Every structure is written in C-alpha cells, then in structure tokens.
Amino acid sequence: MDKFTTLTGIAAPMPLVNIDTDMIIPKQFLKTIQRSGLGVNLFDEMRYDRDGNEIPDFVLNQPAYRQAQIIVAGDNFGCGSSREHAPWALLDFGIRCVISTSFADIFFNNCFKNGILPIVLPQDAVDVLMEDARKGANARMTVDLENQTVTSSDGVVFSFEMDPFRKHCLLNGLDDIGLTMEKAPRIESFETQMAQARPWV
C-alpha cells in the first residue's frame, strides 16, 4: 500500500448526499477480485449513458476534474452494501482522499485498508471546500496527514481528527498484511522455538 503523507491535488465537487457504494461501483463490476482496472467504471451509471458514451455534465468527465485526487462530497458518503470494490475503484481512478461530513462505517474502515484518507469535517468547512473545488483545475487543495490539516487553494486551513493507529498505518503504507509483516521476526522466532520444543507438530 502506498504511503499517504501530504497530497496536493485537484478536488472534484460532488455535493450529492447518500452516495452509496452501488453508485460508486455498480454491482455488475463486482465479479473481479483484482484491485486494478475498476477506475474506468467508477460512478459508471453517472459517467456514461446506455451506449457507453460519457455524460459531459458529470464532474469527473469535465476536463478540469479528470485528474482529480480528492472528492469533496455530501453527507453519508459510501453508504449501502459493504463492497470493498468501492475504495478499489476510487483508488484505481486516482482518488486518494474523500472529504465529507460523515461516512458509512464499513466504507470508512475499508478506505484506510486501501490507502484512501476519509476526512470528516463539519458542514461549514465542507461548504467552503466545496466552493473551492468548484473553481476547477487551478484550485488545488493540500491535505497534510501528519499535521491533520486541509488547506484550500485560498490558504484557508481546517483541522481534522484522526485515530492515531489509522494515521500510523497510512503514513507508513501499512495494510493488514503490512502490519503482520512488521512482526515477521517475532513470528519466525516463535516458530523456531516451537519446532525445537515440539518437533512432532
């Protein structure tokens, strides 16, 4: 998993509330167990018409937001079914951070396990950042995980809360496997001791 330290990038405004995981990645794309390749189908039913043509009005189809790395969203982002494909699709598109007033619990947890930073801010702060995101590609936000701040393109700074353990994992690029591998020497030592003490096992 890639480390998350400081991100400066384009933010796409998505003021819709209750953006659920089926909107993020529709159910027909859940057959794969690969984490790559899902970005093209991110928000599929909002991005494309029935013939597969891009819908020009959708934010991620607009030239200013095709390289967006941050989403500023409405309340309750990631609600619905508990599909891990949702953060996979976001990450594969290039999204590393989502800012909202609230997230569904399972989606929120899955983000951390996949290197995406979900930031919870009060409504007034999200409103400011939403307006900043509407400025387009010339307005770049900075997310500083170490200092737990989001800075708008105008220099307005908002602080966010972060669980210390999750912060440690993101800063060091540690998913569940990475956390286990940190303890590899102790695991190997234990296995060696057990092999000597109980060779019949």
- Mean pLDDT over residues 4-32, rounded? 95
All structural domains of the chain, each given as residue ranges with its CATH number in brackets, are 6-173 (3.20.19.10)
Q: Please name the residues in contact with 113: beta carbons below 8 A apart, sequence gap of 6 or more.
A: 84, 87, 175, 176
Look at residue 87 and tell me whether its pLDDT is greater than 90: yes
Look at residue 199 and tell me whether its pLDDT is greater than 80: no
Instruction: Supply the pLDDT for residue 183.
Output: 63
* 95 in Cβ contact with 69 (< 8 Å): yes
Instruction: Supply the pLDDT for residue 192.
Output: 67
CA 135 – CA 12 distance, rounded (Å): 9
Instruction: Supply the pLDDT for residue 184.
Output: 62
pLDDT, tens digit (0-9, with 9 covering 90-100), for 22-40? 999 999 988 877 778 899 9
Rounded mean pLDDT of the chain? 92
pLDDT, tens digit (0-9, with 9 covering 90-100), for 104-132? 999 999 999 999 999 999 999 999 999 99
Instruction: Supply the pLDDT for residue 102.
Output: 98
CA 149 – CA 126 distance, rounded (Å): 13
Instruction: Supply the pLDDT for residue 200.
Output: 73
Single pTM value for the model: 0.88
- Mean pLDDT over residues 43-63, rounded? 96
Percent of the chain surpassing pLDDT 70: 92
Dihedral (C-alpha) 68, 66, 129, 80: value to the nearest 10 degrees?
-80
φ, ψ of residue 59 in degrees (nearest 5): -55, -45
* 105 in Cβ contact with 76 (< 8 Å): no
CA 173 – CA 179 distance, rounded (Å): 9
Look at residue 138 and tell me whether its pLDDT is greater than 90: no
Look at residue 99 and tell me whether its pLDDT is greater than 70: yes
Better-scored residue on pLDDT, 48 or 34: 48
Look at residue 91 and tell me whether its pLDDT is greater than 80: yes
